[in-house]
């Protein structure tokens, strides 16, 4: 009978060890990428997405302004436009394909204005003409980049981040010396968006549909006021106060001709006519309807 014996062979062992080492290297590499690089890449991607949202919201504001001007010459026409808002984004193919999301919303009672003024005999009040102008806003839900809110209110586009706010695009409000600098005129074209509160949370593209409905005039520079007060009700008083201070400075008003104060919910601008000078106002309002549609 022949006797068979087993012989040692390390070929299979070396193959298994190589596979385990290779797998370990891949796992270590992926871990390093996800820990060291993905957060930075994702932060940059979410920041780029916020830039996209700013562009979309600025297009919304610009188109409303264009329709507001066009409505002055064609008040009876029905004018409609749509703007896509990139509510979600910041995906990184293969490495981190998940998309960040955000909330697109409309709030009817978060912004508004009121004007009070006096002449030598009569007091004037804008009543509810400029109240409840409405706000369209986008709030991000980022995982890495700081969350931000873009708010379109009273014709202005505002960037809010925590307690801080910055006016990225100014409203249709101007203060100028007129009539050979003998008077001060306030120009104001308010944008009103009435309706009920609505919101949509999404990581895709959402459509904002805007329709012009009407326009009206409160003052048309026909009254000479001795003083005028404009109160702006807003969730972003810091942005509005900075804007109004720029306006009175660019108009060259002296400290005896204006006053600006603010609190957590409003900013108040006071204009005072110097001896022999008066305040005039050109105040108008355009009304739009806004709806959201999912692409």
pLDDT of residue 9: 57
Cβ pair 272, 194 in contact under 8 A: no
pLDDT of residue 75: 67
pLDDT of residue 91: 80
Six-digit token pair at 144?
Answer: 């890495």
| β-sheet with 135-141: strand ranges across | 164-169, 156-161, 149-153, 135-141, 101-107, 198-202
Cβ pair 285, 130 in contact under 8 A: yes
Cβ pair 153, 60 in contact under 8 A: no
pLDDT of residue 162: 84
pLDDT of residue 86: 94
Tens-place pLDDT, residues 41-65: 888 999 999 999 999 999 999 999 9
* Rounded Cα distance, 153 and 165, in Å: 13
Running along the chain, 295 residues long, what does each successive block of 10 average in pLDDT?
A: 56 69 72 68 90 96 90 75 91 76 91 94 93 95 93 95 92 94 94 92 93 92 93 96 96 94 96 87 94 79
Strand partners, 105: 137, 199
pLDDT of residue 32: 66
Q: How many Cα atoms sit within 13 Å of 233 on the Cβ side?
A: 15
* Rounded Cα distance, 71 and 287, in Å: 10
Of the candidates 211, 210, 201, the one whose C-alpha atom is nearest the C-alpha of residue 83 is 210
CB burial class (10 A; 0-12, 13-18, 19+) of residue 47?
A: middle
Tens-place pLDDT, residues 166-204: 999 999 999 999 998 889 999 999 999 998 999 999 999
What is the DSSP secondary structure assignment for residue 147, as one 8-state letter?
P
CB atoms within 10 A of CB 229: 17
* Rounded Cα distance, 169 and 7, in Å: 83
pLDDT of residue 4: 58
Alpha helix segments (H runs only) across the chain? 11-32, 38-73, 237-250
């Amino acid at each position: 009978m022949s006797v068979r014996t087993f012989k040692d062979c390390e070929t299979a062992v070396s193959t298994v060890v190589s596979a385990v080492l290779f797998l370990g290297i891949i796992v270590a590499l992926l871990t390093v990428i996800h820990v060291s690089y993905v957060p930075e890449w994702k932060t940059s991607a979410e920041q780029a997405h916020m830039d996209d949202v700013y562009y979309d919201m600025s297009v919304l504001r610009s188109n409303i302004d264009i329709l507001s001007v066009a409505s002055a010459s064609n008040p009876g026409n029905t004018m409609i436009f749509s703007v896509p808002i990139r509510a979600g984004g910041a995906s990184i193919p293969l490495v981190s394909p998940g998309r960040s999301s955000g909330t697109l919303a409309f709030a009817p009672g978060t912004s508004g204005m009121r004007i009070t003024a006096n002449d030598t005999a009569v007091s004037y009040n804008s009543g509810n003409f400029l109240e409840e102008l409405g706000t369209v806003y986008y709030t991000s839900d980022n995982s890495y980049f700081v969350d931000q809110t873009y708010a379109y209110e009273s014709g202005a586009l505002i960037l809010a981040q925590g307690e801080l706010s910055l006016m990225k695009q100014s409203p249709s409000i101007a203060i100028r010396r007129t009539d050979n600098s003998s008077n001060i005129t306030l120009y104001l074209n308010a944008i009103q968006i009435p309706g009920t509160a609505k919101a949509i949370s999404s990581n895709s593209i959402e459509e904002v549909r805007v329709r012009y409905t009407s326009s009206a005039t409160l003052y048309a520079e026909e009254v000479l006021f001795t003083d005028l007060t404009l109160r702006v009700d807003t969730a972003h008083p810091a942005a509005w106060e900075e804007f109004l201070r720029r306006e009175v400075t660019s108009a060259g008003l002296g400290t005896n001709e204006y006053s600006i104060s603010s609190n957590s919910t409003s900013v108040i601008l006071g204009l005072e006519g110097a001896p022999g000078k008066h305040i005039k106002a050109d105040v108008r309002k355009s009304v739009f309807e806004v709806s959201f549609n999912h692409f």
